[in-house]
Structure 1
Amino acid sequence: MTGRTIMIVGNGDVPEGAAAMIDAADLVVRFNDCRSVGRGGMKTDIVAACNTGRPALSMLGGGRWKTSEAVRQAREIWSVRSGARFAAMRADLAKTHPDLDDFCDDYTISFESFARATGRRHRVVPVETHERLEHDLARFEPPPYVAPSSGLVVIADILSAFASGGDDILLAGFGHSGWEWHPFAAERRYVDALAAEGRLRRLHQSHSSDLSQGA
């Protein structure tokens, strides 16, 4: 039996011509405010949301996120961060990163309530995913950091708890750059290692160019 094509689409640059290939996937996962929509296609099955700190508060306030096209069509809302794990980080962060005083504020219940009110499934990425990822990421000697990016957490979660044998997992829109307290250089090496093992593929310009030419 042929497996599914699962597209994990980050908010970075997406190859030209990739939209059709992304929209043709069996399952499309996007992140937070889904800035990938447009050049990165329209289909959205799962929105993986950062459910703590300022990003969560921004999405939940004002209504724009809740009524966006990507969120409206999503069948599931995932809360990426384990509230208990991040709550346990609060005391240390108060000493090392006092400017991140709201980083561990947990809005999981609000995302769950929104999903329930709109008839969607809500799922929290389990704490075991975070623990396993931290262990695996250590192999790539990351510098001091606060937390892995939401994108990396979801990649690890899909590989360990969601994908089945035979599924083809593709990444697009992952530039591995952004907030200074994510270990992006180590994350890139981690993803490259997964690609070398054949566990996922990056959607490159060559893939989308072949598709646009009808190959």
Structure 2
Amino acid sequence: MSGRTITIVGNGDVPQGAAAVIDSADLVIRFNDCRSVGNGGTRTDIVAVCNTGRPALSMLGGGRWKNSGPVRRASEIWSVRTGAKFAAMRADLMKTHPDLDDFCDDYTAGFEAFARATGRRHRVIPVETHERLERDLARFAPAPYVVPSSGLVVIAEILAAFAQPRDDVVLAGFGHIGWEWHPFAAERRYVDALVAEGRLRRLDQSQSSDFSDGA
């Protein structure tokens, strides 16, 4: 008996032709403002959000994000960052990255309230997932970084706590480039190793996908 297809769609370019493949999955996860919708299909079961700092404040402020099509379609909101972990990072970041003064501001309660008010499940990815991921990333010699990308945290959580042995976990829209303080070069090597182990697959060119940007 085959398992589910779980497709994790980053915010990078997904070219024409991928929409039907992505929408045929059993579960589709997108990120933040879901820029992948369009060429990357429309199905959205889970929206994983960066729940600290400016991105979180922007999403919760006003109604644009809350009323967007993908967010309305989603049955779950996942907060990618654990508030306590980021609170513990604040003092050191103020010394090393003073420009990130609001990076650790925690808006988890706002996403939880929104989910509750709209009848959705809210889930916070546990700190253990972050810590295990950072240990795994250390094998790939990351350059100095602040945090792994939200996309990588979700991949780690899906593989550790969500996917079943027969499930097919598929990535689209991941190019492992973006914000300078994510360890994207190491993240690419980490994902490539998971693909080589058969734990993940990238939506390949025959299925009209591409990976030119990170989540």
TM-score by length of 2: 0.96
Q: Match for 1:28: what amino acid?
A: V
**Structure 1: 4+ residue segments shifted above 3 A:** none
In the alignment, the residues of structure 2 paired with residue 42 and residue 149 of structure 1 have an alpha-carbon distance, to the nearest angstrom, of 23
Q: Match for 2:148: what amino acid?
A: P
Q: Match for 1:102: what amino acid?
A: D
Deviation per residue, 1:92-138 (Å, 9 max, x gap): 00000000000000000000000000000000000000000000000
In the alignment, the residues of structure 1 paired with residue 15 and residue 85 of structure 2 have an alpha-carbon distance, to the nearest angstrom, of 35
In the alignment, the residues of structure 1 paired with residue 59 and residue 161 of structure 2 have an alpha-carbon distance, to the nearest angstrom, of 26
| Paired residues of 1:28 and 1:44 also in contact (CA < 8 A) | yes
2:87 maps to 87
1:129 maps to 129
Taking only the aligned residue pairs, the percentage that are identical comes to 82
| Helix, strand or coil at the partner of 2:106 | coil
User: Where do residues 34-183 of structure 1 align in structure 2 (5 Å cutoff)?
Assistant: 34-183=34-183
Please report how far the alpha carbon of residue 74 of structure 1 lies from its aligned counterpart in structure 2 after TM superposition: 0.1
| Helix, strand or coil at the partner of 2:66 | helix
In the alignment, the residues of structure 2 paired with residue 6 and residue 134 of structure 1 have an alpha-carbon distance, to the nearest angstrom, of 23
| Paired residues of 1:16 and 1:205 also in contact (CA < 8 A) | no
| Paired residues of 2:53 and 2:103 also in contact (CA < 8 A) | yes
In the alignment, the residues of structure 2 paired with residue 206 and residue 179 of structure 1 have an alpha-carbon distance, to the nearest angstrom, of 29
In the alignment, the residues of structure 2 paired with residue 14 and residue 158 of structure 1 have an alpha-carbon distance, to the nearest angstrom, of 21
Higher helix share: 1
| Helix, strand or coil at the partner of 1:89 | helix
Structure 1: gaps spanning 5 or more residues: 210-215
Structure 2: gaps spanning 5 or more residues: 210-215
| Helix, strand or coil at the partner of 1:40 | coil
2:212 maps to none
In the alignment, the residues of structure 1 paired with residue 202 and residue 16 of structure 2 have an alpha-carbon distance, to the nearest angstrom, of 14
1:213 maps to none
1:212 maps to none
In the alignment, the residues of structure 2 paired with residue 16 and residue 73 of structure 1 have an alpha-carbon distance, to the nearest angstrom, of 22
Please report how far the alpha carbon of residue 154 of structure 1 lies from its aligned counterpart in structure 2 after TM superposition: 0.1
Number of residue pairs matched by the alignment = 209
In the alignment, the residues of structure 1 paired with residue 176 and residue 140 of structure 2 have an alpha-carbon distance, to the nearest angstrom, of 14
| Paired residues of 1:15 and 1:204 also in contact (CA < 8 A) | no
| Paired residues of 2:17 and 2:207 also in contact (CA < 8 A) | no
| Helix, strand or coil at the partner of 1:177 | coil
| Helix, strand or coil at the partner of 1:67 | coil
In the alignment, the residues of structure 2 paired with residue 104 and residue 185 of structure 1 have an alpha-carbon distance, to the nearest angstrom, of 24
| Paired residues of 1:15 and 1:203 also in contact (CA < 8 A) | no
Deviation per residue, 1:134-181 (Å, 9 max, x gap): 000000000000000000000000000111110000000001111000
In the alignment, the residues of structure 1 paired with residue 154 and residue 115 of structure 2 have an alpha-carbon distance, to the nearest angstrom, of 19
